Amino acid sequence: MTQYGIFFGTAATGAASCTGNAGTALSAYLPLPTANQTGYATLCWMSAGAWQTTNYRYTINSQPLQLSSSPVVAVPSSGKETMRTFTFGSGDPGTLILGACTTGSPSLTARVASHVGVAQIGFTAAKGTARQAVTVKCPTSGGAALNALVDIWDWPSIQRLSYDGSTLQIWGGGFGFAGVVGLSGGNGVNEAIPYWTGGVDGYIQVFKPDLSPGNYEVVVAVETPDCQLAPEFAEGGCPFECEVLESFPAEFSVAGQPTITITSRPIIVTPSSTVPGTYTATLTSVATPLGGSYNWSTNNSGMVGFSNTTPSSGPSADHVSLAILSTDDKATITLTYNGPYGGSATDSFTFALTNDTVAVAWVNGDAIIPDTSTMPLGAFDPIVLAMYQPDYCGSFLSSWASKGRNGQGGRGANELTDAERVWVNQFLMHNTGNSRPPSQLPDGDSLETGGAYRLYQRLQAAYEIVDGSIDPQKVEYLKKSVKVGTTPAPCLLMPSWIANSVESHQLNGSLATSSDHSLVYQINEARLGDDGQAINQYLNGSPGANYHQATPWIWTVIQFDANGKIRPWISGADVNNLQIFPAYEVYANGLGTAFAQGILETFISLSGNSQYGGPK
């Protein structure tokens, strides 16, 4: 409330009478009519830009009150007293001037009700004083002074409230000995609770446990003193009209503890349809109690921003759109909820978004040149001449496959010198080479569907991170693909039974989170098929060994860590993410990095035990 006003007249009025008496003072003095009549005090107050009013009725007696041993009342035509009204003289506020009196009269009691903000009609005493002694004088010259006790009654007013979860405490004045506390609000509360002050007029305590969170309104109501202080009328009924004096409402809030939960988890990240290389996501939430304010924030504004399509703060920001600007990183998203009745709650999560990663294994045939320099006859060696003949090339391979499958041959027992064996290996790998992958990933899936590789895989993931570890239940794969390519025919006339023959490893295509929750990974692993393994056994295996044990595996393993970054590419042992052979092209968001091909003879000397052993 910002302004107050008071108007006194002979009729009840509305807001129109307020503007001329507006101000900020909490008390005022107004002249009273001189005629014996009923008067009305109109109290005005400005709230939310509009005048509010209430009217109080008084009976005006222009003659000084004649005190006697029995209370004298002014009775209007209704026949019931609405309020005791006294006319007091001017001068010392502690002196009550009587129109006529008789010396030696017994001590008398007068009662006065007053209200902050209403013209003080009649005698005014200190607030909170239950009873005050005053001097009563006769107006006649030389009149003797009489002693009187005047009860000072304040209109109830609330100055301060406190609620501790079980007890409502009210400080103020005008509470009398007893009355009613009106409590409303919250989740449908509407109660009238009796109170007894025990004589402490400025304090009320009401036991009210476990109020639900919400806004509440409190008023204190007491009856006028006439019936409240006249127990002799308890049985026969009060002969006067006992009016209820009601305080202005006071408000308080029960905060409770709000809750907030980000519900759209795991986060669903989608490539932007308008800005290549960026991503979007929508987050939603559930809060209790409703009616509060939301605020979204991030600890990595370089990676994550908030789209202007939805507000990131305010009462309507229960959901938000993310604009994810970069990958290969992680960010924490925090939602703070300020409850409508006080208190706040937060929920947050950390997520990582990886690069769009493609790994291609391919045989670089141009890096493997069949070398005849170590052979005595050089290019005229019989095996060299035969392998360049289409008919003989296919026949040799068919024979070697049959012998290798039957346990024949092996290094040193294959009817070839070691120089010839090395040359044949070079010849076969040179002629089965793949075309070089481009340095930048083509648009679409042309590289994947073309099949010009030994292995191809693609992976991109978004996942939540809890206490530094990947949550395996909250991993989303934006892109995932695993393909095993073909082995081109090394001879012009190649038997159909040996062409395109490959064997996929049992782990090929595995997509998982490591047991220690430190990695998200995908495995791409294969080797030559059955016929190729038999040929390799005949040429390079141990004599008499099982031909399935002669041929090593090749693999690529994409591994993302708990920061959203790819684990460095290392070739070598079975714990590394690349086999030592062949060559590799790895793309991160379309940009390729080449990894050179290892030494062919070193790779061939490995056995079938050379396979990826899982993430370490």
**pLDDT at 345 (0 to 100):** 96
User: What pLDDT, in 10s, does the model give residues 149-172?
Assistant: 334 445 788 889 998 889 999 998
State the pLDDT at residue 33. 57
What average pLDDT does this structure show over 400-422? 95
Q: CB–CB of 521/506 below 8 Å?
A: no
Task: Domains for the chain: give ranges and CATH numbers.
Answer: 4-154 (no CATH), 157-254 (2.60.40), 259-351 (2.60.40.1080), 357-364+439-604 (no CATH), 368-428 (no CATH)
Question: Which of 54-68, 247-261, 265-279, 419-433 is the least confident region?
Answer: 54-68
Of 421, 428, 409, 485, which Cα lies nearest the Cα of 453?
485
Q: What dihedral do alpha carbons 54, 57, 63, 66 form, nearest 10°?
A: -120
**Across 127-136, 163-172, 320-329, 588-597, least confident range:** 127-136
CB 346 within 8 A of CB 335: yes
**Stronger pLDDT, 337 or 443, i.e. the higher one:** 337
Residues near 205 by beta carbon (within 8 Å), at least 6 away in sequence: 167, 168, 169, 170, 195
Q: Are 67 and 89 in contact, with CB atoms under 8 Å apart? A: no
What pLDDT, on a 0 to 100 scale, did the predictor assign at position 74?
Answer: 27
The answer to whether residue 85 scores a pLDDT higher than 80 is no
- The answer to whether 481 and 457 are in contact (CB under 8 A) is yes
Instruction: Compute the distance between CA of residue 512 and CA of residue 482 in angstroms, rounded to an integer.
Output: 14
What percent of the chain has a predicted confidence (pLDDT) above 70?
A: 74
The answer, yes or no, to whether residue 319 has pLDDT greater than 80, is yes
Q: Cα–chain-centroid distance for residue 17? A: 51
Please enumerate in sequence order all residues whose Cβ is within 8 A of that of 381, keeping only pairs 6 or more positions apart, or say none.
Answer: 372, 375, 420, 423
> Residue 161, SS3?
strand
Say what angle helices 390-405 and 530-540 make with each other, to 10 degrees.
90
On the 0-12 / 13-18 / 19+ scale of CB atoms within 10 A, 23 is exposed
Least confident of 167-181, 378-392, 507-521, 569-583: 167-181
Q: How much is the mean pLDDT over the chain? A: 79
CA 199 to chain centre: 51
Say whether pLDDT at 268 is over 60: yes
pLDDT at 104: 37
Rounded Cα gap, residues 322 and 462, in angstroms: 14
The pLDDT of residue 39: 67
Element (H, E) at 162: strand 157-163
- Report which of residues 119 and 513 the model is more confident about: 513
Average pLDDT, stretch 374-396?
93
- What is the CA 324 to chain-centroid distance, rounded? 18
